[in-house]
């Protein structure tokens, strides 16, 4: 992975665009609160107190938050992510308005039980490096929900809430995807932060790569303000632009996130190392590497920086013995879409689609996935992933979207085989991508149901389905319900005996202050494959 040895502040334009909203959200800093520090000597710290359960503080008399920084470096907010039973990743990324940041900036993180941080439960120091976009991914040990914040250069970050993935009998997950900045505001995130879930599961399309106005002729509520993004600096600026939204920042700070990417974090419908447009093949590896680097820099993920343009993001989160959450990557290793990646083509598919060697996950990840199914021990087995897995075939073998699992039938068969051979309860698959809310049945070729799919609608990206076509889609036998005209997210409440999915919808995505309500609630009994609709 080639990186510019010089630092990359966000552009002045982006910085000032972040503006006043940030000033409202950010805590003002004072550096009088004492805290203990780990040596600022290199990699992001995994330092934690000897006894994370302790609420006592053992502060030294001074704290080094590094050289004074003229501007508040914390305007992109804070986030936490990838919790395990005893720890969580704390994320921030420093940016500078004017003077470049030093190559290495010490950043102190603190955990506390109270908003004032008068009593520090744990603290450590990470080094924000220019080569990593001055991002911080610090692993903090904890045994209960706590507040966290960062301090650096005389400034204090906003406060976030984090927690471990400890034993519980109820887990609340908000699933989200697809948040095109130009086509709507983030009222869904405001509603999500108010709900206060245990985990946000983001299924991709966190940013869109398009140039300002390129895809949005009418009804734009705000602009990307730059051409299509290609370079590392471009991608960094795009993330900074999106994180300028206060509702997004508040949801990012509300609880830990588990994030995977889809295509628009790089480019629409890319497959592996193959770009959407064949004529751009030569430059695409560098573009993808830049995009992956920027994604890593902005996400609260428990992984090292990309190496040689590759980043392993498939992983497993065990939430006590209640849920085994398997996150998969259907972009980085997939075979190219078959039959010219046609959409809404009702003719029989070309021969290529049946090729057994075509893969959605790549061979290694397929093997890994089968291992996770065998190793899963949670009451619920959950798969977080990108594109629709339920069949959307209207009969006659036609494939309406070759980018989805329908376009990779052999790979889907192998995935279902892995699920079935584990001989566990049916799985729950959580999906994003198609900008509609839906419930699907996952059915193997022999007619056996292997699980349920909950498709979360987009946070703000436009509907792909023209108004009125819901009735058409409902004719597909494996689609149980669909709502395509509203933006939103899904609240999943997971208990031992049942899973409840509450589909939240935004009344008017063109208004930041829009009300948010429920379209429908579905209850899936443990062991069942067909959820039952209940009142919203």
* Positions that interact with Fe ion (CB under 5 A): 178, 205, 461
| Closer Cβ to Fe ion, 178 or 437, answer by number | 178
With beta carbons less than 8 A apart as the criterion, state whether 172 and 163 touch. Answer: no
| Closer Cβ to Fe ion, 106 or 330, answer by number | 330
With beta carbons less than 8 A apart as the criterion, state whether 146 and 121 touch. Answer: yes
Distance CA(63)–CA(151), nearest Å, equals 10
What residues are paired with 176 via a beta bridge?
Answer: 202
Vertex 425 angle, CA 424 and 431, to 5°: 110
Beta carbon of residue 433, minimum distance to Fe ion (angstroms, whole number): 6
Beta carbon of residue 92, minimum distance to Fe ion (angstroms, whole number): 26
Query: Nearest-CB residue to Fe ion?
Result: 178
Beta carbon of residue 180, minimum distance to Fe ion (angstroms, whole number): 7
Residue 197's nearest CA partner among 159, 245, 163 is 163
Helices (H), 422-510: 470-473
| Closer Cβ to Fe ion, 215 or 234, answer by number | 215
| Closer Cβ to Fe ion, 97 or 178, answer by number | 178
Beta carbon of residue 177, minimum distance to Fe ion (angstroms, whole number): 6
H or E segment to which residue 443 belongs: strand 437-443
Distance CA(108)–CA(123), nearest Å, equals 7
Beta carbon of residue 275, minimum distance to Fe ion (angstroms, whole number): 17
With beta carbons less than 8 A apart as the criterion, state whether 486 and 514 touch. Answer: no
What residues are paired with 440 via a beta bridge?
Answer: 453, 479
| Closer Cβ to Fe ion, 94 or 388, answer by number | 388
| Closer Cβ to Fe ion, 177 or 381, answer by number | 177
CA dihedral 274, 280, 281, 286 (to 10 degrees): -90
Residues 6+ apart with CB under 8 A from 436: 455, 457, 458, 463, 464, 465, 482, 483, 484
Burial class (CB in 10 A: 0-12, 13-18, 19+), 170: exposed
| Closer Cβ to Fe ion, 269 or 529, answer by number | 269
Beta carbon of residue 21, minimum distance to Fe ion (angstroms, whole number): 24
Beta carbon of residue 506, minimum distance to Fe ion (angstroms, whole number): 16
Beta carbon of residue 431, minimum distance to Fe ion (angstroms, whole number): 11
| Closer Cβ to Fe ion, 324 or 460, answer by number | 460
């Amino acid at each position: 992975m080639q990186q510019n040895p010089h630092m990359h502040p966000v552009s002045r334009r982006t910085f000032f665009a972040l503006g006043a909203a940030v000033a409202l959200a950010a805590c003002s800093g004072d550096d009088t609160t004492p805290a203990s520090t780990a040596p600022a000597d290199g990699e992001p710290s995994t330092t934690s107190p000897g006894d994370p359960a302790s609420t006592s503080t053992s502060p030294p008399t001074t704290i080094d938050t590094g050289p004074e920084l003229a501007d508040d470096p914390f305007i992109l907010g804070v986030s936490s992510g990838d919790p395990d039973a005893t720890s969580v990743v704390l994320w921030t990324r420093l940016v500078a308005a004017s003077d470049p940041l030093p190559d290495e900036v010490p950043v102190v993180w603190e955990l506390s039980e109270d908003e004032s941080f008068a009593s520090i439960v744990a603290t450590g120091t990470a080094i924000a490096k220019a080569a990593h976009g001055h991002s911080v991914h610090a692993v903090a040990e904890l045994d209960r929900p706590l507040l966290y914040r960062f301090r650096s250069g005389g400034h204090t970050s906003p406060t976030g809430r984090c927690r471990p993935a400890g034993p519980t009998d109820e887990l609340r997950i908000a699933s989200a995807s697809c948040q095109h900045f130009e086509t709507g505001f983030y009222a869904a995130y405001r509603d999500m932060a108010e709900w206060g879930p245990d985990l946000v599961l983001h299924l991709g399309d966190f940013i869109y790569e398009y140039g300002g106005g390129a895809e949005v002729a009418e009804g734009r509520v705000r602009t990307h303000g730059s051409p299509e993004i290609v370079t590392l600096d471009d991608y960094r600026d795009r993330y900074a632009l999106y994180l300028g939204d206060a509702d997004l920042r508040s949801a990012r700070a509300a609880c830990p996130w588990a994030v995977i990417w889809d295509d628009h974090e790089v480019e629409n419908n890319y497959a592996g190392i193959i770009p959407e447009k064949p004529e751009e093949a030569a430059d695409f590896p560098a573009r993808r590497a830049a995009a992956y680097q920027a994604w890593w820099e902005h996400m609260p993920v428990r992984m090292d920086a990309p190496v040689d343009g590759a980043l392993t993001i498939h992983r497993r989160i065990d939430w006590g013995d209640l849920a085994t959450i398997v996150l998969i990557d259907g972009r980085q290793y997939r075979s190219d879409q078959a039959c010219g990646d046609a959409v809404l083509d009702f003719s029989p598919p070309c021969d290529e689609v049946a090729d057994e060697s075509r893969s959605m996950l790549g061979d290694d990840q397929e093997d890994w996935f089968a291992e996770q199914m065998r190793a899963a021990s949670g009451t619920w087995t959950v798969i977080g992933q990108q594109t629709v897995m339920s069949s959307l075939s209207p009969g006659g073998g036609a494939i309406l979207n070759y980018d989805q699992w329908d376009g990779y039938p052999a790979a889907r068969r192998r995935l279902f085989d892995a699920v079935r051979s584990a001989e566990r309860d049916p799985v729950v698959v959580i999906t994003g991508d198609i900008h509609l809310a839906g419930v699907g049945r996952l059915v193997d070729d022999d007619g056996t149901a292997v699980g349920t799919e909950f498709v979360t609608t987009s946070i703000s990206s436009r509907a792909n389905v023209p108004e009125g076509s819901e009735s058409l889609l409902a004719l597909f036998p494996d689609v149980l319900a669909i709502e395509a005209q509203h933006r939103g997210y899904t609240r999943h409440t997971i208990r031992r005996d049942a899973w409840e999915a509450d589909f939240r919808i935004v009344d008017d995505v063109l208004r930041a202050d829009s009300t948010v309500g429920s379209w429908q609630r579905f209850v899936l009994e443990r062991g069942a494959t067909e959820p039952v609709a209940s009142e919203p």
